[in-house]
Chain A
Amino acid sequence: MVSSTRWLKSGILAYWALFWLLNVVDKMVGGAHFLWVGRDRFAQFQKYFASAGLDAPLVADAGLIVAAALEAFALVFCAGAWFHFMRQNEDKARNWFLIGVLTTLGTFTFFSIGDHLFGDRFELLEHTLFWFITVLSWIAFTRLEDADLALPLRKVPGGAVVLAVVLVAATTASIFSYNENFFHRRTSALEAEQVGDHLYKVSFPFLGGSTVFEESIRLFKETHPEETIDHIYTVPKPLRLKKADALIFYISTNDAP
């Protein structure tokens, strides 16, 4: 018989250890690379401090280093708690996790101060939510000690297995089929549709990106050598009434000299 509380507690510790591990890795990697995009925190901090009149990169570096130090210690204590927990050392795990929780709360409080200072209300909400999830994690972790809920391993009904296999096969087939038939939309040029005098419309598929845009412009220039592009008008989002409308732009032209 496996205790469900032990699985949950292990899950809580694993979540926070991985959360901080990946945050620390993101600080160490810096910038976007092959197999790691991450977030350019340096650019974000630099823009924040520059908006407050502190342009020197040293200030952004210092702010980022303080954040990284808090994150590093949160990682060490959350990972340490997980390590002790896996070695059945419950008391040590609880003490280490408490320090991990307090460091995490300190980190989000530090970020929240920055959000107030730089007027970023969305990040303030995000950090407050994480702050609260941390408190909640601690409560769940400690309260689960009082509950010993058994997790009986019963035989899974055969019908459920068949249904799951059918659904997995159907979704996999659908995804592979879509990839086979529609991935070309990621790069293929789009035909411009004439909607008025010297006015052409190009409607993007959702997969379309900058390559589609460039290829479409190339195709347009090739197929309309008698015209030159005067300007391009991107239809703003409020005018795209259908939910299925992706990017739409109009090409306005002049007669070539």
Chain B
Amino acid sequence: MKEHALIRGAILVFWTLFWGLSVVDKIVPDVQHLWVGKDFFALFVKFFASLGLKDPLFATVALAGVSGLEAINFTLYAVAALAFFRGDGPRSEVWFFRGVFTSMGLFALFSIADQVFGDRFQLLEHGLFWAILLASWVVFKFFASPSERRLELGNVRMALGIGMLLTLATSWSIRDFSASTFGQASAPVEGVEVVEGVWKFDFPFLADKLVWEQTVNAFEEAHPELEITYIYTGPSELNSKKKTHLLLYVFVEPR
């Protein structure tokens, strides 16, 4: 296969999936089994409410408009990808250009909204996506095409063997780590009395609210002579070591 066709294919697959999944995210509301996604409706409602437009109709109309544009956008990429995989390069190029141009328009629209709503982080995010889209088109059109070189790998048996060995080694390590740490997702955390009457609990990365509940219950069972008077969640500034996830301090007094 030609080098430029491989790069073009990778670009088309990425953007087709990007927009396809964005559309799915708009179709699937809220959090569902097998799909979490982002709650754009809540985001839009908050944005419009901050402008003084509290009626959910504004957010609904805006989100429906954006979703419609994204669906059209995805269709353009899907046609481009289809044409590409059928070997129709010129047609694929035309449709990819239409897709890129529409997407850039969409990101420009998002950027305008980010400025109106004062969300500078999203402005940066959308600005970067806009620039990557533009650059993707430049690469697709002008940089990939001159190369007519074909990919000739020769004998890669050794590379495949090393790759398989590395995969096996990492798989074993992942399974081993998973087996030895999965218990942390539900097991209570052991506390350490750091100051008289103050216990510290260093929560692991896997811990969530269930671990918190288990920890407090286990502590009360283990120390019936103590009464919990106050629980303080250590702010992130206290986690100066990168491997610390969450610090919890429990203040106690004798019963």
Do A117 and B35 have beta carbons less than 8 Å apart? yes
Tell me the total A-B contact number using a CB cutoff of 8 A: 210
B179 to chain A, nearest CB (A): 8
Q: In the complex, how many angstroms separate the beta carbon of B155 from the nearest chain A beta carbon?
A: 10
Among listed B54-62, B69-77, B78-86, B163-171, interface-contacting one: B163-171
Provided the pairs A43-B206, A105-B14, A125-B129 are in contact, do residues A65 and B163 lie with their beta carbons within 8 angstroms?
no
Q: State in angstroms the CA–CA spacing of A234 and B153 once bound together.
A: 60
Given A28-B170, A135-B139: A229 and B230 interface contact (C-beta under 8 Å):
yes
Question: Is there contact, CB below 8 Å, between B198 and A47?
Answer: no
Q: A24-B170, A209-B241, A218-B195 are in contact. Are A106 and B35 (CB under 8 A)?
A: no
- Would B166 and A214 count as touching, CB distance under 8 A? no
Please classify how large the interface on chain B is, using the bins under 10, 10 to 19, 20 to 34, 35 or more: 35 or more
9-residue interface stretch from B15-23, B93-101, B220-228: B15-23
User: How far does the alpha carbon of A127 sit from the alpha carbon of B156 in the complex, in Å?
Assistant: 28
Q: Which of A69, A105, A210 contacts B238 (CB 8 A)?
A: A210
Whole-angstrom CA separation of A101 from B132 in the bound complex: 17
Q: Given A51-B31, A68-B174, A98-B3 in contact, is the A213-B238 Cβ separation under 8 Å? A: yes
- Do the beta carbons of B251 and A121 come within 8 Å of each other? no
Give the residues in chain A near B177, CB-CB below 8 Å. 30-31, 42
> Contact: B197 with A221, CB < 8 Å?
yes
A116 touches B21 (CB 8 A): yes
- Closest chain A residue to B18 by CB distance? A112
State in angstroms the CA–CA spacing of A113 and B244 once bound together: 29
B173 near A27: Cβ-Cβ < 8 Å: yes
Per a CB cutoff under 8 Å, which of B13, B37, B128, B243 touches A119? B37
Give the residues in chain B near A207, CB-CB below 8 Å: 240
B198 to chain A: closest residue by CB: A217
Given contacts A142-B147, A221-B195, A221-B196, contact A61 B10 (CB under 8 A): no
Chain A contacts with B in 137-173, Cβ cutoff 8 A: 138-139, 142-143
Q: How far is the CB of B35 from chain A (nearest CB, A)?
A: 6
Give the CA-CA distance A112 to B232 in the complex, in Å.
Answer: 37
B102 within 8 A of A: no
User: Which of chain B's residues have a CB closer than 8 A to the CB of A142?
Assistant: 3, 147
Q: Which residues of A contact B152 (CB under 8 A)?
A: 95
Show the binding face of A for B, using Cβ within 8 Å.
Answer: 24, 27-32, 37, 40, 42-44, 46-48, 50-54, 57, 60-61, 64-65, 68-69, 71-73, 75-77, 80, 92, 94-96, 98-99, 101-102, 105-106, 108-109, 112-113, 116-119, 121, 125, 128-129, 131-132, 135-136, 138-139, 142-143, 204, 207-210, 213-214, 217-218, 221, 228-232, 234, 246-247, 249
Starting from the known contacts A112-B14, A218-B194, A231-B232, 10 additional A-B residue pairs (CB-CB under 8 Å) come to A30-B173, A95-B151, A102-B6, A109-B17, A116-B18, A116-B21, A116-B25, A125-B125, A208-B240, A246-B237
Q: Which 9 A-B pairs have the closest CB atoms?
A: A209-B240, A30-B177, A32-B243, A43-B205, A116-B21, A72-B166, A68-B170, A119-B38, A247-B237
12 contacts between A and B (CB under 8 A): A43-B205, A46-B206, A61-B174, A72-B166, A102-B10, A108-B14, A116-B37, A119-B39, A210-B239, A214-B198, A221-B196, A229-B251
Which residues of B come within 8 Å of A, CB atoms? 3, 6-7, 10-11, 13-14, 17-18, 21-22, 24-25, 31-39, 125, 128-129, 132, 135-136, 139, 143, 147, 149, 151-154, 159, 162-163, 166-167, 169-171, 173-179, 181-182, 185, 194-198, 200, 204-206, 208, 229-230, 232, 234-235, 237-244, 247, 249, 251, 253
